[in-house]
Amino acid sequence: MFRRSGTAVPLATTLVAAAAALALTASTAAAATAPGFLAGTELPPHASSPWYAGTVTKGLPESAPFCLEGVLPAAGSWHRVFGTEYDTGAVQVSVRSASPAAAAKLAGTLERKVAACAADWLRTTPGGTASWQDYGTLPVEEGAHVYGVHTSVPDSEPGVHLYGIGRDGDTVTVVQWGEMGDLSHAPVAAFKKTTTKAVNKLNP
């Protein structure tokens, strides 16, 4: 009597498993590869100092960027810290998410956190003053958004921070720039160019 061979089913199963393994390997390789990062020369120029760029390092920075404490995931993250000879500094954190949808969700979370930062800071800082500004979106890849936050406490120098948050596919980046001063001193136009470059360099 004719019997159907059982070879076809195991072969199909093997092919499916191999394809799944290949996809997982490709995904893992992408996650293990650092996104492109800014160079120091691509940050807003400082009047009296060059920018010094640290190495691109896997994981989150030792101290979370102001306003973004507790919201940046360690998994899939890379960072680079920048400094000058003065109080001006910057940090870029990029995250490779599991999917474009997950990346879009993370970018939205970061934007909401920065937009609420001034109010959140005031609730925990009696006597302080704070303000923020939405500097609008940028037409780069899947989009970017720039914000400014100013904080001050009595008998201390005020601080100003700029944030550029953007996405390219499954990768999100946030650039934070800061120094002493207020929003009127912030190099917004130059920082928008920095943010655009940061997003464009994520997946060269």
From 158, 168, 159, select the one nearest 195 (Cα to Cα): 168
pLDDT at position 156? 79
On whether the CB atoms of residues 159 and 178 are closer than 8 A, the answer is: yes
* Assigned architecture for domain 35-200: 3-Layer(aba) Sandwich (3.40)
The full set of domain ranges for the chain reads: 35-200
Residues in a beta bridge with 106: none
On whether the CB atoms of residues 190 and 45 are closer than 8 A, the answer is: yes
On whether the CB atoms of residues 163 and 112 are closer than 8 A, the answer is: no
pTM for this prediction: 0.84
On whether the CB atoms of residues 97 and 103 are closer than 8 A, the answer is: yes
pLDDT at position 32? 66
d(CA 94, CA 198): 10
pLDDT at position 31? 53
pLDDT along the chain (204 residues), means of 10: 41 39 42 88 95 97 94 97 95 98 98 96 92 97 98 88 98 97 95 98 90
pLDDT at position 67? 95
Residues in a beta bridge with 52: 83
